[in-house]
Structure 1
């Protein structure tokens, strides 16, 4: 059951991450076109900074959940090989739970700020993109990140509790 849920979530978050990368690619293309136009004809594309900032927010918000699910974050593995596998998975599960709590706190705090941006009608400086659009993507990414932290936590805590077998070290490195 957990493996099936992991597989479905992995595919969905991979697609979401690629969509974020694609939108960032569009923002980079606009930036490159702006640079080329400024260098060749002395004109620029109005709103390049706003578009690039939106692309960056979208990309980060949509890629981070996939990184959480895949345990692709940076960590120091000094001495980890000396810890028994079940204890290591228990610590990893606890760390993933802390990640879920952190992302839930970010989601909660960001919701208030997003509502404030909506109430005030905040817009980007150059071309007037509604700031709530930035917040929608940011909050969606935070919500997906909570889910993406809870699944590895459930897996690792189940391994630590002996409910499911620990993967071999080579399989563990690939997951």
Structure 2
């Protein structure tokens, strides 16, 4: 669970950061954050709404995207320690999926209000800004091993020290990683 939690912090930063960028791009065009004043935006801005859907699917933990790996490891580790907390975590994932898909549906589908009919889609500058984040979301989802290999030794050592009731000195990162690898 600890390795998954650290990975999830990285993943959450990527997907939440991308969602904030995308919400800002939508607001820049529509001048509203009110979902009831939106609708049909996918018809006029297919690339922007496609990116929003991609990042929303990442945030809800779709397999193949970055958040799935961290969420899976956290829930698996939590279930191993405490089934009730693991079940609560799994329910949280489902509730997040419901909310994100509901918000996307309200923004992207339905009738397009006339006041939003002529908004531009993503600009070259916006594509250049989003492309690296979207690529990382996909790459980490497909091949998380390099990150997990970097995170796991330290998190394993910390968990062992905490389980044994020993204090863990934050300044001993290199020593913890070396000790976790063993002689």
Give the TM interval when normalised to the shorter protein: 0.3 to 0.5
TM normalised by structure 1 equals 0.33
Q: Which has the higher contact order (CA 8 A, sep 6+)?
A: 2
TM normalised by structure 2 equals 0.32
